[in-house]
Structure 1
Amino acid sequence: MVMRRRTMAMFFDPAGTRYGVPTWPWRMAPPHLLTRRQLAACGLRPGGQPIAGQVLWRSRRYNAPGGVRAAYLYDVRLALPKRIASPAQRAALAKALTVRRTCPECGTDAGYVLSRHLGVCLECADAWEIAS
């Protein structure tokens, strides 16, 4: 438990004097500061606002510099609603995804995005491999 307290004290810098931006340990940030993912879950986006703070924690899972990871925080009071795609944008996206699923060899919709390595559906790739 002693190590945890030392780590918490090391990352506790709400004035931002040590790290240049207000910093808190894991799960100790004020409730009005949220990460991008937390904003997205609320249907919001940062909307161009600067970083309001950060959360730092030690992690052995990833090769972070010094074993310390960071999550940037944004003020929920300054966040804007997420943008919603127009019907034309949705139609264009659906068309592009259909092209990515359509095999250029046999012309069928494979039901999955085709591998860029093969360039064709699996059935056509198997038929080509057997013929070779």
Structure 2
Amino acid sequence: MTETTETGIEVYAYRHAPWYLLTRRQLRRLGLSPGKGRQEIAAEIRWRRGLRVAYLFDVGRAERVRPMTKAQARALDAAMRARRTCAGCRVVQDYCIPTSRGMCVPCFTGETVVDDDTPPPW
């Protein structure tokens, strides 16, 4: 089942797109990217009566993803450590702290005692 939009982009039903058309996530899983704005959207898939849309890119025109530099890796590590650090007890947890609470589960439930003299881990 294929349609065409007003702009000429083909529209496929969910799970009916050809094998060579992939989403950004599928390309990334293969170590590819559509390119920095150089590849046009080849098609789209729609599901849930057209309420959900995903854009598809041609795998043949995709480019290899550049490897991460050491500085980028350090910045990513620091950002993830900040997301895992509790604002209440300043302990780095094994999970990302929910932004809705802003603190770890023990602090949120009142199970930990906060020592205000502890310096932040960053």
Question: Which position in structure 1 is the counterpart of 2:41?
Answer: 51
Q: Secondary structure at the match of 1:77?
A: helix
What code does the residue aligned with 1:55 have?
A: I
1:83 counterpart = 2:66: yes
Structure-1 separation of matches of 2:88 and 2:13: 55
How many correspondences in the alignment?
108
| Structure 1 segment 28-107 matched on structure 2, within 5 A | 28-47=16-35, 48=37, 49-57=39-47, 59=48, 67-68=49-50, 69-107=52-90
> Residue 88 and residue 21 in structure 1: after superposition, are their counterparts in 2 closer, same or farther (change >3 A)?
same
Structure-1 separation of matches of 2:15 and 2:86: 48
Under a length normalisation based on structure 1, what TM-score does the superposition of the two structures give? 0.60
Instruction: Please state how far the C-alpha of 1:109 moved relative to its aligned partner.
Output: 2.3
What code does the residue aligned with 2:8 have?
A: G
Largest Rg, 1 or 2: 1
Gapped runs of 5+ residues in structure 2? 114-122
RMSD: 2.9
Gapped runs of 5+ residues in structure 1? 1-7, 60-66
Q: Secondary structure at the match of 2:60?
A: coil
Structure-2 separation of matches of 1:55 and 1:115: 32
Instruction: Please state how far the C-alpha of 1:86 moved relative to its aligned partner.
Output: 1.0
> Residue 36 and residue 121 in structure 1: after superposition, are their counterparts in 2 closer, same or farther (change >3 A)?
closer
What code does the residue aligned with 1:97 have?
A: M
